[in-house]
């Protein structure tokens, strides 16, 4: 089976999974490479499998979907999900299904999915990598903010490339307030900020351009690098606060690795010296 034929089968199976899932009232969401494809039209890369996430409530019905479509499956205890395979033309189609949360083996970090993520699902067109294929599948895809978190969470260079591609094609589409709430709630602030800094350094040094060319077979222009770095800066979660306020003669700046967020979406932190609740962010002069 050629790579083109493999992709044709993957897209055909994705369409069948979505249709059958709707019949059984379960609500899988696309993550991984094909989710990135849904948000990137100009900067596509090939992917050889399907990555999905489901709620634990839907797990029974989704397994019934897999059985009906001829998949063999087994629980993956390492990440608390399911791996499903299906033989096609001497090759095996692979599905990786996370349940309620996504665990990354490279960083050993976990992203618990927000409860409402399966309710407000958005259908997006998934275009094939090959221009010769005409199959386009409309599938429910994880929100852009959650997808960025999943890509930033890992330590793999392929996910670094995906992050850059997502930011280049969606520089103004990220809901920063929603993104911040999700990162802070998942207690991933320190890790995500460190990853953003690491990717920024790769872009500055030119190493990201080398990796980009290896995966995408094109060059990153200086303008693209600048766009990606600007978009990355917006994703940094502020961690420095002023206590008690900037108007106070006794003010001081403190840093926290774990800021909190209130019901209105405002970041805050507790001063470790005075135990004040501080909302005012420290902005470098």
Instruction: Report the pLDDT value the prediction gives residue 30, as an integer from 0 to 100.
Output: 97
Report pLDDT digits (tens) over 212-239: 999 999 999 999 999 999 999 999 999 9
The yes-or-no verdict on residue 101 having pLDDT over 70 is: yes
Contact present, 120 and 15 (Cβ < 8 Å) = no
Q: What is the pTM of this model?
A: 0.94
Report pLDDT digits (tens) over 65-94: 999 999 999 988 777 899 999 998 888 999
The yes-or-no verdict on residue 260 having pLDDT over 80 is: yes
Element holding 181 (H helix, E strand): helix 176-185
Rounded CA separation 112/101 (Å) = 4
Share of the chain above pLDDT 90, in %: 81
Share of the chain above pLDDT 70, in %: 99
- For the chain, the average pLDDT equals 93
Better pLDDT: 115 or 254: 254
Cβ count within 10 A of residue 105: 11
Q: According to the 3-state scheme, what is the secondary structure of 8-23?
A: HHHHHHHHHHHHHHHH
In CATH, 1-142 is 3.40.50: no
The yes-or-no verdict on residue 95 having pLDDT over 50 is: yes
Rounded CA separation 186/190 (Å) = 11
Report pLDDT digits (tens) over 273-285: 888 899 999 875 3
The yes-or-no verdict on residue 12 having pLDDT over 70 is: yes
Contact present, 58 and 99 (Cβ < 8 Å) = no
Give every strand in the sheet of 29-31, ordered side by side.
Answer: 72-76, 81-88, 91-99, 50-54, 29-31, 137-141, 122-126
Question: What residues have CB less than 8 Å from 182, skipping those under 6 apart?
Answer: 114, 145, 146, 149
The yes-or-no verdict on residue 43 having pLDDT over 70 is: yes
Q: At what angle do helices 144-153 and 189-205 cross, to 10 degrees?
A: 80
Instruction: Report the pLDDT value the prediction gives residue 284, as an integer from 0 to 100.
Output: 55
Task: Look up residue 220 and give its DSSP letter.
Answer: P
Q: Where are the domains of the chain?
A: 1-142, 143-236, 240-278
């Amino acid at each position: 089976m050629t790579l083109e034929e493999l992709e044709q089968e993957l897209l055909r199976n994705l369409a069948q999974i979505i249709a059958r899932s709707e019949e059984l009232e379960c609500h899988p969401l696309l993550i991984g490479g094909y989710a990135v494809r849904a948000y990137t039209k100009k900067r596509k890369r090939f992917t050889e499998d399907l990555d999905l996430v489901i709620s634990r409530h839907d797990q029974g019905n989704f397994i019934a979907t897999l059985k009906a479509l001829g998949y063999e499956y087994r629980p993956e205890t390492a990440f608390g999900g399911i791996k499903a395979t299906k033989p096609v033309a001497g090759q095996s189609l692979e599905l990786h299904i996370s349940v309620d949360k996504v665990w990354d083996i490279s960083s050993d970090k976990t992203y618990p999915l927000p409860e409402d993520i399966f309710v407000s699902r958005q259908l997006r067109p998934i275009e094939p990598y090959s221009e010769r294929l005409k199959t386009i599948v409309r599938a429910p895809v994880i929100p852009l903010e959650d997808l960025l978190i999943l890509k930033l969470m890992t330590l793999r260079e392929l996910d670094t490339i995906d992050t850059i591609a997502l930011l280049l094609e969606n520089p103004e589409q990220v809901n920063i307030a929603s993104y911040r709430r999700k990162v802070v709630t998942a207690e991933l602030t320190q890790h995500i900020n460190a990853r953003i800094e690491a990717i920024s350094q790769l872009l500055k040094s030119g190493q990201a351009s080398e990796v980009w060319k290896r995966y995408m077979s094109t060059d990153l222009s200086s303008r693209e690098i600048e766009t990606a770095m600007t978009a990355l800066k917006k994703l940094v979660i502020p961690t420095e606060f002023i206590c008690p306020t900037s108007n106070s003669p006794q003010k001081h700046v403190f840093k926290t690795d774990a800021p909190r967020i209130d019901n209105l979406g405002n970041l805050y932190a507790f001063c470790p010296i005075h135990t004040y609740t501080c909302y005012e962010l420290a902005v470098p002069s």
